Structure 1
Amino acid sequence: MPGKQRLGATRFAILINETGYAQKTMKALVLSQYEGPLELTTLDRPQPQAGQVLVRVHAAGLNPLDVKIRAGKAAHAQHPLPLVLGIDMAGVVEAVGAGVTRFAPGDEVYGMTGGVGGIQGSLAQYAAVDADLLARKPANLSMREAAALPLAFITSWLGIVDRAHLQAGQSVLVQGGAGGVGHVAIQIARALGAEVFATASARKLALIGQLGATAIDYGAQSVEQYVQAHTGGAGFDLVVDTVGGATLDASFAAVKHYGHVVSALGWGTHALAPLSFREATYSGVFTLYPLLSGVNRAHHGEMMAQATRHAEAGQLAPRVDARRFALSDAERAYEAVADGSAGSKIVVDVD
């Protein structure tokens, strides 16, 4: 029976762990100094502890945050040296630790699982991962596509659903809609029944239209002009800022009375008077907090399960750069993220 086979596989995996499974080795990229080289190194393969699963990593998605961590410039996401980078991953469960019942060897999974706060990242053949951070990979997405989703989806969902409680029929403005987080935010908002608008540069307006949103050229129109053109001057129910800085200030000017602004980049000094005059509210999103603190990690797995549901319903698809990178040439992958040459998510093929 399927149930008995699944239980047998789980018990077998635990038995292997208890008999020295972790003594085997794996290849991983190790950073020994900030801004230094990524060195392909042989390490002991980790052993899943209670509540963890051992994942054979197939693909690792790279984010601008990964570049900042490597450079030692992300004070909010410090990762002690030596370190294995990589926040997003997709792979196959190899073994499970004590107490894990949601996953079994052979399950395809994905999530935002490490690369910060001393937790091993995804640029390695294997990772021992807190099972609460994982969800079943969408059946209709490749490993590469799945690895491109976690950070972008979680950041977007936290803002749009958890903070703003978006309702069908509301208007949403996504600032930076062609970016890694922005293009996912557009798809989530549309899946929830909102009328979606998004800002982008002139050369990326076509992508906004392809995603089903109304495109706004931020270089050709002032905030006042596009608010007047698309809302009759009333403003948007929700503004999702994925850019920060002056764009967050513009977001305060674009929201309607009693509306809401959410941002994952609310750093620096900002005047809140525009919000006050509109009796609008603001929320910040700190996507890494559960990884760094250990608090509320199960919600990350719950959000990734929502991503799977929307992806399999045809409502969510990540954009992945066509270039292929292996562990041995991941330096080039980091360069592609750092120099801005990637028009979509960079993914490293680990396995």
Structure 2
Amino acid sequence: MKAMVLNSYGPDAEFEVAEIPDPVATPGHVVVKVAASSVNTVDTMIRNMGADLPLSPALPAVLGMDFAGTVTAVGDSVTNFAVGDKVYGCAGGLLELQGALADLMLADARLIAHKPKSLSMRQATALPLVGITAYEGLTRADVAKGQTVLVQGGAGGVGHVAVQIARNMGATVSATGRGADQMALIRDLGANAIDVTTQKVEDYVAKHTGGAGFDIVFDSVGGANMTNSFAAAKLNGHVASTVAMVEMDLTPVHFRGLSLHVVFMLIPMIHDVGRQAHGDILKTLADLADAGALKPIVDETVFKFADIGAAHAHLTNGNATGKVVVEA
């Protein structure tokens, strides 16, 4: 079969078309004919950093974590999928797991679910990594009906999904962003829009929580912005972060009695621990999508697998609006 392969790592590494062996359906796995894959920041990190990133696959490497496609073969002990099923998931593109930028992909059946019927393959492939990340962060922070939730980076890949899930959980949601376009998008998603270029933390906390602070802050921006999240949370509140690779003083966390939840959704793939939880979350996300409560935003630029280098550039250059998708 054909695949887009990296034979080297680094910022200038180029994807090349190569013939690689077809995967065989092993016990607990299915083979999927890939229709589309989406580009995540972690994909670009692997390409740029290579061996410096401990989850990078050995060369030659087939990247692509998210996918949507059709099951073509089923391994022993798989009972919930059959040949011809339309599925989606996040199941490869790191360590020894072949990625989705190929005609066919071997996927652990625990890491996938039936594709939302209401979404196209292009839309569905934009959802797994960001959707699972958002769902894990919100559920670990125990979001419940009637609570106030702040999503930092509400127009981003993870953030725009977190806004929709939190609203479906019954929370009153506010979200930060920058500029008129992001403000419009956040409002369209049903959240209070906060432009951080013009509003300070104490101002939007006063406006949207009466000065008490948000019950839960979901921070998809991370880094130095986490100090803003700590300041925006109520006493004994929760902060969930998806980007916590930073050194900082946790004194504000201590004196506000905050619970800090760090989400790294690749753990089940890396360590083969709790993989079925991802399949279960994907089923929940599919149900939400089919109920009209969740829709991923997909960048309008059309890329094919052969254009994967340009797709990476489109994401890293900051030109994308929504998830960047490549189609087979």
TM-score by length of 1: 0.91
Looking at structure 2, the residues matched to 292 and 263 of structure 1 have their Cα atoms a distance apart, in angstroms, of 20
Q: How does 1:12-23 map to 2 (within 5 A)?
A: none
Matching residue within 159, 168, 177 for 1:182: 159
Matching residue within 8, 27, 45 for 2:22: 45
SS in 1 for 2:20: strand
**1:197 pairs with 2:174:** yes
Matching residue within 212, 224, 230 for 2:202: 224
Looking at structure 2, the residues matched to 272 and 328 of structure 1 have their Cα atoms a distance apart, in angstroms, of 45
Deviations 1:182-213 (A, max 9, x none): 00000000011000000000231010000000
Q: Match for 1:171: what amino acid?
A: T
Deviations 1:31-66 (A, max 9, x none): 011031100111111101000000000000111111
1:151 maps to 129
1:267 maps to 245
SS in 2 for 1:260: strand
1:309 maps to 287
Q: Match for 1:208: what amino acid?
A: I
Matching residue within 46, 49, 55 for 2:32: 55
1:141 maps to 119
Deviations 1:223-258 (A, max 9, x none): 111111211111000000001112111101110011
Q: Match for 1:154: what amino acid?
A: I
Looking at structure 1, the residues matched to 18 and 117 of structure 2 have their Cα atoms a distance apart, in angstroms, of 32
Bigger radius of gyration: 1
Deviations 1:282-314 (A, max 9, x none): 010111000001111011100100110100010
Matching residue within 219, 226, 232 for 1:254: 232
Q: Match for 2:310: what amino acid?
A: R
1:345 maps to 323
Looking at structure 2, the residues matched to 253 and 78 of structure 1 have their Cα atoms a distance apart, in angstroms, of 35
The Cα of 1:75 is off from its aligned counterpart by: 2.1
The Cα of 1:266 is off from its aligned counterpart by: 0.8
SS in 1 for 2:164: helix
SS in 1 for 2:89: strand
**1:27 pairs with 2:2:** yes
SS in 1 for 2:19: strand
Residue range with higher mean Cα deviation, 279-288 or 67-76: 67-76
**% identical aligned pairs:** 47
SS in 2 for 1:173: strand
Looking at structure 1, the residues matched to 228 and 245 of structure 2 have their Cα atoms a distance apart, in angstroms, of 14
The Cα of 1:118 is off from its aligned counterpart by: 2.1
The Cα of 1:76 is off from its aligned counterpart by: 4.8
The Cα of 1:77 is off from its aligned counterpart by: 2.7
Looking at structure 2, the residues matched to 285 and 77 of structure 1 have their Cα atoms a distance apart, in angstroms, of 16
Task: Give the alignment's Cα RMSD to 1 decimal.
Answer: 1.0
Structure 2 stretches of 5 or more lacking a match?
Answer: none
The Cα of 1:280 is off from its aligned counterpart by: 1.5
TM-score by length of 2: 0.97
2:102 maps to 124
Matching residue within 214, 222, 242 for 2:220: 242
Looking at structure 1, the residues matched to 299 and 54 of structure 2 have their Cα atoms a distance apart, in angstroms, of 27
Looking at structure 2, the residues matched to 175 and 145 of structure 1 have their Cα atoms a distance apart, in angstroms, of 23
Deviations 1:81-128 (A, max 9, x none): 211000100000001011111000000000011111221001111001
Equivalences, count: 324
Check the 8 A contact 1:117/1:291 in 2, yes or no: no
Deviations 1:300-331 (A, max 9, x none): 10010011010001000000111111112221
The Cα of 1:79 is off from its aligned counterpart by: 2.0
Looking at structure 1, the residues matched to 110 and 229 of structure 2 have their Cα atoms a distance apart, in angstroms, of 34
Check the 8 A contact 1:252/1:272 in 2, yes or no: no
Check the 8 A contact 1:77/1:288 in 2, yes or no: no
Looking at structure 2, the residues matched to 210 and 297 of structure 1 have their Cα atoms a distance apart, in angstroms, of 33
Looking at structure 2, the residues matched to 119 and 322 of structure 1 have their Cα atoms a distance apart, in angstroms, of 29
2:66 maps to 88
1:167 maps to 144
The Cα of 1:78 is off from its aligned counterpart by: 2.2
